[in-house]
Structure 1
Amino acid sequence: MSTTFSKRFSSSILLWMRTDKPREIGMNYWKGPHSRIISASPGLDEYRQTHLAETNPGLWPATPGLETGIPAGRKIDGVAQVAFQSVFSVLAGREQNKLAFKDEINVFRRTLLYLGLPNWSRWYDVARPGEKVGSRVLVYLRRRDGVGGGAFRRFINAELAPALAGTGALQELRTETFLPWSKALWNTPNVAHDNPGDQQFHASLMLGFPDTATQAAFFAGSSLASLSARLARIASAAHAYQVGEALTFVRDGVILPHYQE
């Protein structure tokens, strides 16, 4: 299986819906009015909303030394994933971001921005011609205490991602490694940004499968069990979320007339 990839500059905003309204109302507002605010930001290469399933105890296989159960109190509802055309896109989007800041209170109760440097995100060429992704899992990884950021990134890029690509099970593989989290990067008004050090993440994986049967076999298989044992030496948590919907609003720098799944 090919391990060729393109390097990207991207960010992810982890989102928790308000609890004083039905979750479905919040999810629909996010992909409706709120999506139009974000999509209009200049300099975006891609804008995707990843809506996570409401029930998500954690799909990653149980592994000694690795937290794989998702704590109910920190369970994420969705993730806004943005890829930028260039580093200058972040500056170009400041005015539009002000509108997004004001709108967050209408739908979210907590938002956390994770950002990497340019080229810290990698999108792998694993799709087979003519096949589409039928099921996705989004995984967040926490670096183990005592492991340096450079060693962690090298493991993700040089060992974990190529091994995942080499399984032949994936139709999509995207990795992100993050700078240390800072509240100052996305300190929006009227919503929470609490993120204790022992709850922070340092990388993510988007895993796409042709269907749910292939996904189930992958997570139950010996290849992932062996890989997870290696991961546990460098990571302390692997929270694997079932994705409900992955909706793209901007692709290749173009705002789509309607989101695409």
Structure 2
Amino acid sequence: MTGFLHTSSALYPVSLRDDMPREIATAYWAGPHAEVVGRHPYIREYIQRQFSTADHGYWPVTPRVGTLTAPTWRVDGFAEVRLRSLTVAALTTPMHMPGVFLDEQNVFQRVLGHLTGPRGGRWWTTGHDDAVAHRTAVLLRRRRGVSGRAFRRFIHEELGPALYTAGARDLRTYTFLPYTPLAHLTPGVSHDNPTHRRYHGALVIGASSRDHLTELLASPGVSAVIDDQARVLTAAHAYTVERSVAVIRTE
């Protein structure tokens, strides 16, 4: 597939419970919790991205842009959801999501719901490909004083095309609507999201290997965009995706 596909999507960065062994929490997320979410009839795709605890903070450094992940603001992964539409999601959530909401307390201590808005996501390649050997997830923070339109233009019209042209696989770019805890107000789970910690967009970048990802980021077209990232960003936090669990695959 060439070009890109617009999507209406949602991303849910999560922190696993810190009173539970990580291997138990990740197994529950990928198992019983995934089964509950998988019964939702109006989700077109649901993929869990479980992050490495060791390989992160490697986005290319430029002045005024933070790339190191804060140990006091741990992100263990995110759920990546493609919706049939935001309207359908809003109308069907009360009917189909209570089980999901109540189950989150069993595995998460914090969940932050981010909606992209209509056509706020772009898939530059086809749906989830199990053959992709390495994926990096990047959480992006917009610079204060930069408009949402300028931020979206940078992510979708500069960074996305550069990565795609350089040969990224399974490439996805997302920009978020303004954050509100009402987007995912579940019981027994924190939704605190201080302004200085908030993210405004995300990338999922597939590559043939971790070394190939490094080559992509160093390629002339991508590095030229990254050299100018401080114009729009204050932070770009990269995480190696240790495991992708495709619970619901795209139609």
TM-score category, normalised to shorter length? over 0.9
Q: What secondary structure, in the 3-state scheme, does the structure 1 residue paired with 2:113 have?
A: strand
Comparing 85-94 and 227-236, the one that deviates more = 85-94
Q: Deviations over 1:122-178 (max 9, x none)?
A: 000389xx993110000011000100111111121211111111112x112101110
Do the aligned residues in 2 keep the contact of 1:116 with 1:179 (CA within 8 Å)?
yes
Counterpart in 1 of 2:209?
Answer: 211
Distance in 2 of aligned mates of 1:192 and 1:198: 17
Q: What secondary structure, in the 3-state scheme, does the structure 2 residue paired with 1:73 have?
A: coil
Q: What secondary structure, in the 3-state scheme, does the structure 1 residue paired with 2:202 have?
A: strand
Distance 1:29 1:126, change over 3 A: closer
Do the aligned residues in 1 keep the contact of 2:45 with 2:248 (CA within 8 Å)?
yes
Counterpart in 2 of 1:93?
Answer: 93
**Paired residues, number:** 249
Q: What secondary structure, in the 3-state scheme, does the structure 2 residue paired with 1:179 have?
A: coil
Counterpart in 2 of 1:120?
Answer: 120
Counterpart in 2 of 1:243?
Answer: 241
Distance in 2 of aligned mates of 1:223 and 1:158: 13
Unaligned 5+ runs, structure 2: none
Distance in 2 of aligned mates of 1:140 and 1:207: 12
Q: CA deviation at 1:33?
A: 0.7
Q: What secondary structure, in the 3-state scheme, does the structure 1 residue paired with 2:14 have?
A: strand
Distance in 2 of aligned mates of 1:219 and 1:150: 24
Q: CA deviation at 1:87?
A: 2.9
CA RMSD of superposed structures (Å)? 1.9
Counterpart in 2 of 1:188?
Answer: 186
Q: CA deviation at 1:218?
A: 2.8
Distance in 1 of aligned mates of 2:42 and 2:247: 14
Distance in 1 of aligned mates of 2:224 and 2:86: 37
Do the aligned residues in 2 keep the contact of 1:42 with 1:92 (CA within 8 Å)?
no
Q: CA deviation at 1:57?
A: 3.8
Do the aligned residues in 1 keep the contact of 2:56 with 2:240 (CA within 8 Å)?
no
Matched, 1:19 2:14: no
Q: Deviations over 1:12-41 (max 9, x none)?
A: 111101111101100000011100111111
Counterpart in 2 of 1:111?
Answer: 111
TM-score, scaled to structure 2: 0.93
Q: CA deviation at 1:221?
A: 5.0
Do the aligned residues in 1 keep the contact of 2:142 with 2:200 (CA within 8 Å)?
yes
Output aligned runs, 1:49-88, within 5 Å: 49-88=48-87
Unaligned 5+ runs, structure 1: 254-261
Distance 1:185 1:42, change over 3 A: same
TM-score, scaled to structure 1: 0.90
Distance 1:219 1:151, change over 3 A: closer
Do the aligned residues in 1 keep the contact of 2:159 with 2:222 (CA within 8 Å)?
no
Output aligned runs, 1:166-185, within 5 Å: 166-168=165-167, 170-185=168-183
